[in-house]
Amino acid sequence: VGRPPDWENVIIASGHYRNGIMLAPITAQIVADLVTRGTTDVAGAEEIAPSRLSDG
């Protein structure tokens, strides 16, 4: 969940497997934060961001 590196106009909200309904509220909070503020204070958001794959 989050912006893929080098794609400033894209926010991914996927990869929830079989828990996407349960995780919709927290996912929406992260996406709304990224859209309105460009960052989020949601705990653990960095650990599920697409950048974790490129940042190592």
Ligand X SMILES: Cc1cc2nc3c(=O)[nH]c(=O)nc-3n(C[C@H](O)[C@H](O)[C@H](O)COP(=O)(O)OP(=O)(O)OC[C@H]3O[C@@H](n4cnc5c(N)ncnc54)[C@H](O)[C@@H]3O)c2cc1C
Residues that bind ligand X (CB under 6 A): 16, 18-22
The length of the chain is 56
Helices (H) and strands (E) in the chain, counts: 2, 0
CB nearer to ligand X: give 26 or 42.
26
Q: Which residue is nearest to ligand X (CB)?
A: 20
Residue 9 or 55 with smaller CB distance to ligand X? 9
Nearer to ligand X, 3 or 16 (CB): 16
**Cβ atoms of residues 52 and 4 within 8 Å:** no
